[in-house]
A and B are shown apart, each in its own frame.
Chain A
Amino acid sequence: DGGITQSPKYLFRKEGQNVTLSCEQNLNHDAMYWYRQDPGQGLRLIYYSQIVNDFQKGDIAEGYSVSREKKESFPLTVTSAQKNPTAFYLCASSLDGNMNTEAFFGQGTRLTVV
């Protein structure tokens, strides 16, 4: 089945450590996105990528980094510079960054800083 796979589902990190969240899609989509979800705040865009080897900052990129070396993969690194990283992280993809189709979502990764 085609879809988006996020791993791990739950992740615990000690303060001061970097951690990388995985996102893989087999939908052959060009565009990929990372969102952060906090209670009562909806989804906020961290980074997005319209095409391989290119990505742009979203509204809350500080403390995060991404790469897009392959079409199917868009990993997100939460660095120690992110002051409040505990949240639910959602990866999404859409067919083409310039064609308005819906976004497809993974099942999310819940990151907790301990």
Chain B
Amino acid sequence: AQSVTQLDSQVPVFEEAPVELRCNYSSSVSVYLFWYVQYPNQGLQLLLKYLSGSTLVKGINGFEAEFNKSQTSFHLRKPSVHISDTAEYFCAVSEMLPNQFYFGTGTSLTVIP
């Protein structure tokens, strides 16, 4: 089974500064990668996904992520954060079969005015 590591449990960042949220996964077999965002007491919303093709993936709200197979990483980045980006972010991995999703423990992003 996969394991997903989000090294930073909390990331504070000033408004309009860049941010990177890190994600590493355990297996180098064919995987599919996702980033989700969760606002308090709500479900998870998909930010972006990597299924195949270009290793640089662009998502909603100005976020992007880069798939690095050799380093088994899928870090999330945004060049300039807004107050509204304050939320919990989850990295997820799924393998070929069956379609199970493995989640990291989450990173709490706090944008400071």
**Chain A CB within 8 A of B98 CB:** yes
For the complex formed, measure the closest distance between the CB of B26 and the CB atoms of chain A, giving whole angstroms.
14
- In the complex, the answer to whether A48 meets B100 with C-beta atoms within 8 Å is yes
Could you tell me the distance between the alpha carbons of A4 and B46 in the complex, rounded to whole angstroms? 14
B91: nearest chain-A partner, CB-CB: A42
- In the complex, the answer to whether A107 meets B99 with C-beta atoms within 8 Å is no
Q: Report A94-105 CB contacts with B as 1/0, cut-off 8 Å.
A: 101111111111
**Chain B CB within 8 A of A68 CB:** no
- In the complex, the answer to whether B105 meets A108 with C-beta atoms within 8 Å is no
A30: nearest chain-B partner, CB-CB: B99
Q: Report B74-113 CB contacts with A as 1/0, cut-off 8 Å.
A: 0000000000000000101010111111011110000000
**Chain B CB within 8 A of A50 CB:** yes
Residues of chain B within 8 A (CB-CB) of A99 are 99
- In the complex, the answer to whether B49 meets A102 with C-beta atoms within 8 Å is yes
Residues of chain B within 8 A (CB-CB) of A100 are 32, 51, 94, 96, 99
**Chain A CB within 8 A of B44 CB:** yes
How big is chain B's contact interface, by range? Answer: 20 to 34
**Chain A CB within 8 A of B61 CB:** no
State the interface size on chain A (CB cutoff 8 A). Answer: 31
If A40-B9, A97-B98, A103-B101 touch, does A110 touch B44 (CB 8 Å cutoff)? no
Could you tell me the distance between the alpha carbons of A102 and B100 in the complex, rounded to whole angstroms? 10
Contact of A107 among B43, B51, B98, B100 (CB under 8 A): B43
Q: Which residues of A contact B (CB under 8 A)?
A: 4, 6, 31, 33, 35, 40-43, 45, 48, 50, 58, 88, 90, 92, 94, 96-108, 110
- Would you mind naming 19 contact pairs between A and B with Cβ atoms under 8 Å apart? A4-B43, A6-B43, A40-B9, A40-B106, A42-B104, A43-B90, A45-B100, A92-B101, A96-B99, A97-B99, A98-B98, A98-B99, A101-B99, A102-B49, A103-B101, A105-B43, A105-B45, A107-B42, A108-B42
Q: Which residues of B contact A (CB under 8 A)?
A: 9, 32, 34, 36, 41-46, 49, 51, 90, 92, 94, 96-101, 103-106
